[in-house]
Structure 1
Amino acid sequence: MLVQTKTSDIEKPIDRSRHPPIVSSIPSVNVTVERQPFLQPDDDQRLPHTGTARANIAATYDKPLGTTEGGWAKQHQNKTVLQQHCEFFDLDHDGVIWPQDTFLGFHRIGFGIFLSLISVFIIHGNFSYPTVSGWLPDPFFRIYLKNVHKDKHGSDTGTYDTEGRFIPQRFEDVFAKYANGRNYLTIWDVKNLLKGQRCIMDPVGTFGAFFEWIATYLMLWPADGKMMKEDIRGVYDGSIFYTLADRRAAER
């Protein structure tokens, strides 16, 4: 929850001597010029405190209140955004995702049997153990949502923090840095994103990020090759999974 600011503080004029202009690029360091971070205009504060992580809403510049359709934000106010991302695959909503739950979930959103099986092996083979409460691995490779924040890995966008919250600045940076401010990503933008976010000596994180973005592209499968910003935001809080599943069910 954001800390409220007193009205008297808001009305005070900004002392520019104490708040110098933000320097986000240096001409002599080319990468800082090529990858400009998201910067909200001073006169447009629709998304205040962009760097502050939101616990239960995927807030962006275009959707500062997160997903409001169907009462999503209200219904999920007691779950972190990362938990919301995983909720679709928890078929009985008991906080535990079994391998068969993941298989059925991927199949419902349009993946074939082979890709659904591959997803199960990758996800549960890598993400089950960090979520167990003890030292011994789970014999059924289940994923426990109460500890799913422990599955945070490196070489990703940083949009989820290590507690499973959503950081608007990091999400907006993806489009500012790798899409020149456009509201969509192409597969080539994703290629540059994966290369730009890759951390040294992080094979697990690098592969995890690769798998997640390729799965996202295959799931959305845009006819024009453009993954829209709002659809990607829906992946982060999981709301789009239900939309895709309903769409696939209607097609059948």
Structure 2
Amino acid sequence: MSSQLVTSIASVPITEARPVPTGLDSKLPHPGLPRVNKAVSAESPNGSPAHLAREDHSVIQQHVDFFDRDQDGVIWPWDTYIGFRRLGFGRIISTLAVPFIHGSFSYPSGTGLLPDPFMRIFVKNMHRCKHGSDSEVYDTEGRFVPEKFEELFSKYDRTNKGGLSWEDIQAMILGNMNIVDPVGWTAERLEWWVLYLLAADDNGIVSKEKIRGNYDGSLWYKIAEEVEAKGQARAAVQKAKWQ
């Protein structure tokens, strides 16, 4: 009996169209082992620095820490609105994001049986907010699974460009869809579309490193810094015009 590992067969074409990553053990120790507080990749085996991703939080908690402005473990609707504004979104999109996000995540992350009247999101329970039809990079406890992250690119970065295009993302969303899961379908689309709007480069590619930073939230801090710097530059130009 052959001991060769077989990951695709011609009689099941989808297994050849979406290959799994190989040789990860040489780049990353124990790639199938979920990391609780580090979003790691073959290129970033140590994850993000501690000032961008709190090491006392799980990766799914790190994903939303940016919106918890006072770091008290509670995200109010106003916090989400301000967070979206800091990321460069206008007032309309920032306002529309609040009822969708808090309407979806407030109750599952809550601390009791009754809905929270303030629609707050409790960071400590973010693992309950994991939805279906996703990439499974987060496990059900909110840990980060490196092997699943690498699968995003072995399966959908078909030209090995080091990131995902709009077309790649649509193919990935379709490939991850579970049956009879409209909530998951909607959430997955909106999350990736927002990421694309924020992080795609001039060639329409979201880099692998930015996608990794999306998972642990470190990307949000970097984007907010860029938006703030651009705002200060515009203000300086306007001030110079009036002098």
What TM-score do the two structures reach when normalised by structure 2?
Answer: 0.91
The structure 2 residue matched to 1:125, chosen from 92, 100, 103, is 103
Partners of 1:237 and 1:186 lie apart in 2 by 21
Instruction: Give the C-alpha shift of residue 98 in structure 1.
Output: 0.4
The structure 2 residue matched to 1:47, chosen from 25, 28, 40, is 28
- Indicate whether 1:156 and 2:137 are aligned: no
Note the aligned Cα RMSD (angstroms).
1.5
The Cα offsets for residues 73-115 of structure 1, whole Å up to 9 and x where unpaired, read as: 7x72211011111000001100000011001001101111111
Give SS of 2:26's match. Answer: coil
Give SS of 1:128's match. Answer: helix
The structure 1 residue matched to 2:14, chosen from 18, 21, 31, is 31
Residues 133 and 177 of structure 2 are in contact (CA less than 8 Å); yes or no, is this contact kept in structure 1?
A: yes
Instruction: Give the C-alpha shift of residue 186 in structure 1.
Output: 0.4
Residues 176 and 182 of structure 1 are in contact (CA less than 8 Å); yes or no, is this contact kept in structure 2?
A: no
Show the counterpart of 2:156.
178
Partners of 1:175 and 1:223 lie apart in 2 by 20
Residues 137 and 146 of structure 2 are in contact (CA less than 8 Å); yes or no, is this contact kept in structure 1?
A: yes
The Cα offsets for residues 35-68 of structure 1, whole Å up to 9 and x where unpaired, read as: 0011126xx6230111110000001111111113
- Once superposed, which parts of structure 1, at least 4 consecutive aligned residues long, lie more than 6 Å away? none
Amino acid of the structure 2 residue aligned with 1:32: T
Residues 56 and 79 of structure 1 are in contact (CA less than 8 Å); yes or no, is this contact kept in structure 2?
A: yes
- Indicate whether 1:248 and 2:227 are aligned: yes
Amino acid of the structure 1 residue aligned with 2:195: T
Show the counterpart of 1:230.
209
Amino acid of the structure 1 residue aligned with 2:62: Q
Give SS of 2:37's match. Answer: coil
- Indicate whether 1:194 and 2:177 are aligned: no
Q: Which stretches in structure 2 are left out of the alignment for 5+ residues?
A: 232-243
Give the number of equivalent residue pairs: 230
Partners of 2:129 and 2:22 lie apart in 1 by 29
Amino acid of the structure 1 residue aligned with 2:176: Q
Residues 175 and 182 of structure 1 are in contact (CA less than 8 Å); yes or no, is this contact kept in structure 2?
A: no
Partners of 1:22 and 1:128 lie apart in 2 by 44
Give SS of 1:201's match. Answer: coil
Instruction: Give the C-alpha shift of residue 72 in structure 1.
Output: 3.6
Show the counterpart of 2:124.
146
Give SS of 1:177's match. Answer: helix
Partners of 2:40 and 2:156 lie apart in 1 by 20
- Indicate whether 1:219 and 2:202 are aligned: no
Instruction: Give the C-alpha shift of residue 240 in structure 1.
Output: 1.2
Give SS of 1:227's match. Answer: strand
Residues 200 and 207 of structure 2 are in contact (CA less than 8 Å); yes or no, is this contact kept in structure 1?
A: no
Partners of 2:105 and 2:213 lie apart in 1 by 21
The Cα offsets for residues 162-184 of structure 1, whole Å up to 9 and x where unpaired, read as: 11100001110001101124311
Give SS of 2:43's match. Answer: coil
Instruction: Give the C-alpha shift of residue 222 in structure 1.
Output: 2.1
Partners of 1:106 and 1:82 lie apart in 2 by 18
Residues 125 and 141 of structure 1 are in contact (CA less than 8 Å); yes or no, is this contact kept in structure 2?
A: yes
Partners of 1:39 and 1:110 lie apart in 2 by 38
Structure 2 CA distance for partners of 1:221 and 1:227, relative to 1, 3 Å: closer
- Indicate whether 1:95 and 2:73 are aligned: yes
